[in-house]
């Protein structure tokens, strides 16, 4: 029985180190290869030894697909390809290919240079790893080998994020990666056609959330910033370098443009400048507005947003500063925060989630006195605002995507078990499809019934078409032909052609059957009665009474003879070729029931 097997090595009932193994029709594909933020030991990378204990991974995997450049989807890639060893193709989209190495390098620097880890991948490894990458375009069907093909769909979420369809023959799996169903200021919404895959593997980060309109959030955000700037205050927005930062930049930039505001906006990190460059390049991956207006002006060429210099923080007058990192736990954002915290005119806006223990989390939960290193106490007088900008699909969005793709079954990854449970129940209820949510290392096996394509000869098809009306999708039709199986390909041809091809002589096969009828009359009369009976029953068939006393129905011959022993019984000889088996057997059963009374 053919089947699809799915085993998550990471992201099974969990968020982080996405890595999912899929076996489909004998092909093995690895989807994403991420790291886990929560761990600093071996657990941060997926356990590749699951695939093979010894021997190179290349022999076991046909390809690796990376959905987007976030580290929890690509962070383990150099480790996997260079340190564990994999030489096969790695597929990702062009923007991902461009931005991924920047983030990997950054990640490496923090791990090695700051935390001093040994046995970590090197810059050279990142470079070597990126050499194995094959870039794909949206909606481009890439033939990995003769049978396996993959195709990318737009996923929103971040620049270059894609959903992948993996297809072997008629079996297919769609992996969504992370996606967003509501468009934002710089990216569009995820979209997929009705590809009806056997399995849809979808993320489920916000499985139990339905979000408010993004417009309200944006308006709130802009209003808060505007008010603070009008008061003459300084606004600090701690962000992570890529993704949300660009969205907020565009939001503020257009707002500044619209409202003709003059207060400066600064962006603090070098990494982002590099990334911004790619955002400018990959215009086709952005949303409608940016795509339409870039001829006049590329939206990422910010007019009002300038690079930040440390000295600017002490400048008088209002300003808005984007600084990394996003949770105020270290770095530039924390420095600026300390400088500005004392003034109640200033404001800090946290655009995302903050992990417990960070300064960000403390101030959001209302703490006003912070203990800094060196026993200093920082009094926070500035306003603290929280604003949730997130680029994952909410429960409604997930349902919408499932509805769009119409899969035969759904598998949830990249989310918390409890929330998945709810969504699973909902999906099963609404779409009446199976839904799975395996934990890491747990294998889901899906039996499939792949359709087998059979070639039919044109002559045969036309002949059959000529016999009946148009084929009706709802009714099965009987078709006579010969199925030839040769070199794992199937052909349906007419029997004459098959005989010719195989060099065989045709044998006639006839069935004959005797039916005993109790009828005292003469043979002739019996034949006559049979004839009139059949004539009245088989209206759409050609029933003939031949001069020699026999009756034919199409090519079936019926002869009546007196029984040698009992003259009161007549024997009907029914004979038909095997082609007419259907009609023949019907006739015999009809005749066996006996003839109606002559009087009737």
Partner 1 sequence: MDDAINILQNEKSHQVLAQLLDTLLAIGTKLPENQAIQIRLVDVACKHLTDTSHGVRNKCLQLLGNLGSLEKSVTKDGEGLAVRDVQKIIGDYFSDQDPRVRTAAIKAMLQLHERGLKLHQAIYNQACKLLSDDYEQVRSAAVQLIWVVSQLYPESIVPIPSSNEEIRLVDDAFGKICHMVSDGSWVVRVQAAKLLGSMEQVSSHFLEQTLDKKLMSDLRRKRTAHERAKELYSSGEFSSGRKWGDDAPKEEIDTGAVNLIESGACGAFVHGLEDEMYEVRIAAVEALCMLAQSSPSFAEKCLDFLVDMFNDEIEEVRLQSIHTMRKISNNITLREDQLDTVLAVLEDSSRDIREALHELLCCTNVSTKEGIHLALVELLKNLTKYPTDRDSIWKCLKFLGSRHPTLVLPLVPELLSTHPFFDTAEPDMDDPAYIAVLVLIFNAAKTCPTMPALFSDHTFRHYAYLRDSLSHLVPALRLPGRKLVSSAVSPSIAPHEDPSHQFLQQSLERVYSLQHLDPQGTQELLEFTIRDLQRLGELQSELAGVADFSATYLRCQLLLIKALQEKLWNVAAPLYLKQSDLASAAAKQIMEETYKMEFMYSGVENKQVVIIHHMRLQAKALQLIVTARTTRGVDPLFGMCEKFLQEVDFFQRCFIADLPHLQDSFVDKLLDLMPRLMTSKPVEVVKILQTMLRQSTFLHLPLPEQIHKASATIIEPAGESDNPLRFTSGLVVALDVDATLEHVQDPQSTVKVQVLYPDGQAQMIHPKPADFRNPGPGRHRLITQVYLSHTAWTDVPLPSPNPGDGAWCWGSFFLAVLQQLLTRRLSPGRQDAAVSEALSPIDQVPDSASLAVSS
Q: Contact residues for partner 1 (CB under 8 A)?
A: 182-183, 185, 188-189, 191-194, 208-220, 222-223, 226, 254, 257-260, 287-289, 364-366, 383-386, 395-396, 399-400, 403-404, 419, 422, 425-426, 430, 465, 469-471, 473
Which residues share a beta bridge with 27? 24
Q: Quick check: 5 and 22 in contact, CB under 8 A?
A: yes
Instruction: Give the distance, in angstroms, between the CA of residue 450 and the centroid of all CA atoms in the same chain.
Output: 18
152 bridge partner residues: 138, 164
| Nearest partner of 321 among 279, 300, 349, 287, judged by Cα | 349
In the complex with partner 1, the residue whose CB is nearer, 192 or 574, is 192
Cα–Cα distance, 600 to 595 (Å, whole number) = 10
Question: What is the rounded CA–CA span in Å between residue 339 and residue 331?
Answer: 13
Contacts of 461 (CB under 8 A, 6+ apart): none
| 183 vs 549, beta carbon nearer partner 1 | 183
Q: Are 395 and 206 in contact (CB under 8 A)?
A: yes
Least separation, in Å, of the C-beta of 163 and partner 1? 13
Shortest gap between Cβ of 260 and partner 1 (angstroms)?
5
CB of 524 to partner 1, least distance (A): 43
State how far the Cα of 80 lies from the Cα of 87, in Å rounded to an integer: 10
Measured in degrees and rounded to the nearest 5, phi and psi for residue 8 equal -80, 125
Contact yes or no for 401/190 (Cβ under 8 A): yes
ω into 211 cis (within 30 of 0): no
CA 412: distance to chain centroid?
A: 11
* Residue 415 three-state SS: coil
When the beta carbons of 2 and 352 are compared against partner 1, the nearer one is 352
Q: CA-to-CA distance for 255 and 267, rounded, in angstroms?
A: 16
Least distance to partner 1, CB of residue 496, Å: 24
Between 213 and 597, CB nearer to partner 1: 213
Helix (H) or strand (E) holding 525: helix 523-537
- In the block, which residue shows the tokens 């409890």? 418
- Residue 269 · residue 311 · CB < 8 Å: no
Nearer to partner 1, 213 or 564 (CB): 213
Q: What is the largest CA-CA distance in the chain?
A: 127
Least distance from partner 1 to the Cβ atom of residue 395, Å: 5
Q: In angstroms, give the least distance from the CB of 143 to partner 1.
A: 24
Phi and psi of 202, rounded to 5°?
Answer: -120, 150
Taking only Cα atoms into account, the Rg of the chain, rounded to an integer number of angstroms, comes to 37
Shortest approach of partner 1 to residue 236 CB, angstroms? 16
Nearer to partner 1, 254 or 532 (CB): 254
What is the closest distance, in whole angstroms, from the C-beta atom of residue 555 to partner 1 in the complex? 28
The C-alpha atoms of residue 16 and residue 29 are separated, in whole angstroms, by: 19
Residue number with CB closer to partner 1 (182 or 269): 182
Dihedral, 226, 227, 231, 236 alpha carbons, nearest 10? -60
In the complex with partner 1, the residue whose CB is nearer, 215 or 593, is 215
Quote the Cα angle for 137-143-145, to 5°: 145
Catalytic residues: 203
């Amino acid at each position: 029985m053919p089947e699809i097997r799915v085993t998550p090595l990471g992201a099974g009932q969990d968020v982080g180190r996405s890595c999912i193994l899929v076996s489909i029709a004998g092909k093995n594909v690895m989807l994403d290869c991420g790291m886990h933020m929560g761990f600093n030991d071996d657990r941060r990378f997926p356990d590749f030894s699951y695939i093979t204990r010894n021997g190179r991974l290349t022999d076991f995997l046909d390809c690796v697909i990376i959905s987007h450049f976030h580290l929890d989807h690509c962070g383990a890639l150099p480790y996997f390809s260079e340190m564990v060893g994999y030489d096969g193709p790695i597929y990702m989209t062009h923007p991902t290919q461009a931005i991924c190495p920047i983030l990997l390098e950054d990640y490496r620097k923090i791990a090695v240079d700051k935390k001093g880890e040994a046995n970590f991948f090197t810059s050279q490894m990142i470079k070597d790893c990126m050499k194995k990458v094959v870039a794909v375009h949206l909606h481009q069907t890439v033939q990995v080998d003769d049978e396996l093909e993959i195709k990318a769909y737009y996923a929103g979420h971040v620049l270059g994020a894609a959903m992948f369809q993996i297809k072997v023959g008629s079996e297919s799996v769609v992996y969504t990666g992370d996606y967003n169903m509501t468009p934002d200021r710089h990216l569009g919404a995820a979209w997929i056609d009705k590809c009806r895959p056997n399995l849809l593997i979808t993320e489920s980060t916000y499985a139990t959330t339905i979000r408010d309109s993004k417009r309200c959030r944006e308006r709130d955000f802009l209003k808060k910033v505007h008010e603070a700037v009008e008061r003459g205050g300084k606004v600090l927005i701690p962000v992570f370098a890529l993704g949300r930062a660009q969205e907020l930049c565009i939001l503020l930039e257009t707002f500044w443009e619209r409202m003709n505001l003059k207060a400066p906006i600064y962006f603090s990190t070098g990494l982002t400048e590099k990334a911004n460059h790619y955002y400018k390049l990959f215009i086709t991956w952005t949303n409608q507005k940016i795509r339409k207006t870039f001829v006049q002006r590329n939206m990422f060429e910010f007019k009002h947003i300038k690079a930040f210099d440390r000295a600017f923080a002490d400048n008088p007058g209002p300003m808005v500063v984007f600084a990394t990192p996003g949770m105020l736990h270290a770095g530039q954002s924390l420095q600026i925060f300390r400088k500005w915290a004392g003034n109640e005119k200033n404001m800090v806006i946290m655009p995302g989630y903050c992990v417990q223990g960070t300064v960000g989390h403390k101030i959001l939960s209302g703490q006003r006195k912070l203990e800094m290193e060196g026993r200093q106490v920082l009094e926070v007088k500035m306003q603290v605002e929280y604003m949730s900008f997130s680029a994952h699909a909410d429960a409604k969005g997930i349902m919408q995507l499932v509805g769009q793709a119409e899969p035969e079954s759904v598998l949830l990854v990249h989310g918390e078990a409890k929330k998945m449970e709810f969504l699973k129940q909902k999906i099963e209820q609404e779409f009446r499809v199976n839904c799975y949510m395996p934990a890491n290392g747990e294998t889901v096996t899906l039996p499939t019934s792949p359709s087998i394509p059979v070639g039919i000869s044109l002559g045969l098809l036309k002949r059959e078409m000529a016999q009946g009306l148009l084929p009706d999708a709802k009714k099965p039709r009987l078709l006579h032909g010969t199925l030839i199986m040769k070199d794992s390909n199937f052909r349906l041809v007419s029997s004459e052609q098959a005989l010719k091809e195989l060099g065989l002589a045709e044998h006639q096969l006839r069935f004959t059957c005797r039916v005993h009828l109790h009828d005292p009359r003469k043979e002739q009369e019996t034949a006559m009665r049979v004839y009139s009976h059949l004539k009245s029953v088989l209206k759409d068939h050609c029933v003939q009474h031949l001069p020699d006393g026999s009756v034919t129905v199409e090519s079936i011959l019926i002869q009546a003879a007196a029984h040698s022993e009992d003259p009161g019984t007549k024997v009907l000889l029914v004979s038909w070729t095997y082609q007419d088996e259907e009609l023949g057997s019907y006739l015999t059963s009809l005749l066996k029931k006996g003839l109606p009374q002559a009087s009737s």
